Amino acid sequence: MGACAVLLAALLLALAAQYIAVGNEPFLTSYQGQFQSYVIPATTNIQQSLVKANLASYVKLVVPCNADAYQSASVPSQGVFRTELTQIMTQLAAFLSSSGAPFVVNIYPFLSLYQSSDFPQDYAFFEGSTHPVVDGPNTYYNAFDGNFDTLVAALGKIGYGQLPIAIGEVGWPTEGAPSANLTAARAFNQGLMNRVMNNKGTPLRPGVPPADVYLFSLFDEEQKSILPGNFERHWGIFSFDGQAKYPLNLGLGNAVLKNAKEVPYLPSRWCIANPVQNLDNVANHIKLACSMADCTRLDYGGSCYGIGEKANVSYAFNSYYQQQKQDAKSCDFDGLGMITYLDPSMGECRFLVGIDDSKSSAVASCGCGCGVCCGVWVLFFSVFMYLRMMGSV
């Protein structure tokens, strides 16, 4: 554990970590308050540990909140925290203010659009809106600014109207719902970048852009819970294998995202439904395959939706086969599966080839036997990959 702490400290410094998040969205309405009472005590404990380790001036504690922590009956200037959170938010804001940390909020115009059929589509983006929100002397043309200023107003009402705000998560998924697609994701993320980098701020914070903005996310995550929706596995600006999904200028001159090089793919082979077999009894096989591997692209709003029944089966078989590292047994399916060397991809629907991650699993066994170390390794590796792809390492 001692070695682990040293390693952790070294990695934090190596990464120049700015923030440690105490929980993530602990006040989410759907948690019904179950974590509420732990947040301030936990923050205080961890702060004491940082002080003890002489790290308090390098690393700030934050508590990322979902935008459902606040609301407004009408316009942004009427923003208030949820009544049951007023006291805790006042304590949190006092802590953040004294330690010099920002209030961290996750803002998702995509979810507003996804969850409400009468949400004006153009208000989710940054190209102007035919449904602007007029708030006294101020007019809002996009959901991001409106949401941000609702928070500014809520903070003002508890006496912390000047507290810096950082965006902990913001982004747009590329699959899993009709409005989750490459065009929309690119338009939103590029619009966001341009919006933030023009340093104009918002009507309630003119000239003051967010303290930091973290795009969500770097890669797709094929094992993530799809409880919120199929899109949950497709937030990446890079696909699972490090390929940029669309050009995106992050404000570093003319640099755009770069694809990962020398990706250790498994051999070019796929598992498909055997064309000479009757597929009447395939349902349970598909169920198993899709419970283990990702089949979200097959559903409405996915890039493989509508490829047909047999191709559906092939897609499910292949996803499982790749996830099982192309183990021949995993393409059996009681004789219904068959290995092929011809890429079965069709149109937008890409039949994936997996990655040989035997090398990175060696990295994960980092010797100290604690989940934190391995988590940090993965984080370190991701950041490193990211920097490589951005061409700066």
Ligand X SMILES: *[C@@H]1O[C@H](CO)[C@@H](O)[C@H](O)[C@H]1NC(C)=O
Half-sphere exposure of 386 (CA within 13 A, CB side): 14
Query: Considering the complex, what minimum distance in angstroms separates the CB of residue 278 from ligand X?
Result: 15
Of 253 and 308, the one with the shorter C-beta distance to ligand X is 308
Is 169 among the catalytic positions?
yes
What is the rounded CA–CA span in Å between residue 79 and residue 197?
A: 25
Of 205 and 297, the one with the shorter C-beta distance to ligand X is 297
Query: Considering the complex, what minimum distance in angstroms separates the CB of residue 143 from ligand X?
Result: 13
Query: Considering the complex, what minimum distance in angstroms separates the CB of residue 288 from ligand X?
Result: 13
Residue of 359, 364, 272 lying closest to 318 (CA atoms) = 272
Of 180 and 373, the one with the shorter C-beta distance to ligand X is 180
Helix (H, G, I), strand (E, B) or coil at 207: coil
Are 363 and 291 contacting, i.e. CB atoms less than 8 angstroms apart?
no
Give me the amino acid identity at 13: L
Instruction: Locate 390 and state its tokens.
Output: 């951005």
* H or E element, residue 364: helix 358-364
Annotated active-site residue in 25, 84, 127, 232: 25
Helix (H, G, I), strand (E, B) or coil at 330: helix
Annotated active-site residue in 169, 222, 262, 309: 169
- 265, β-bridge pairs: 355
What is the rounded CA–CA span in Å between residue 338 and residue 317?
A: 9
Of 47 and 314, the one with the shorter C-beta distance to ligand X is 314
Q: Which residues bind ligand X (CB under 6 A)?
A: 121, 178-179, 181, 183-184, 298-299, 308-309, 312
Query: Considering the complex, what minimum distance in angstroms separates the CB of residue 171 from ligand X?
Result: 14
What is the rounded CA–CA span in Å between residue 248 and residue 139?
A: 28
Report DSSP state, residue 102: P
Rg (the chain; Cα; Å):
23
Of 221 and 299, the one with the shorter C-beta distance to ligand X is 299
Of 28 and 279, the one with the shorter C-beta distance to ligand X is 279
Closest residue to ligand X, judged by C-beta, is 179
Query: Considering the complex, what minimum distance in angstroms separates the CB of residue 314 from ligand X?
Result: 11
Residue of 266, 265, 325 lying closest to 293 (CA atoms) = 325
Query: Considering the complex, what minimum distance in angstroms separates the CB of residue 73 from ligand X?
Result: 27
Are 168 and 103 contacting, i.e. CB atoms less than 8 angstroms apart?
no
Residues annotated as catalytic are 25, 169
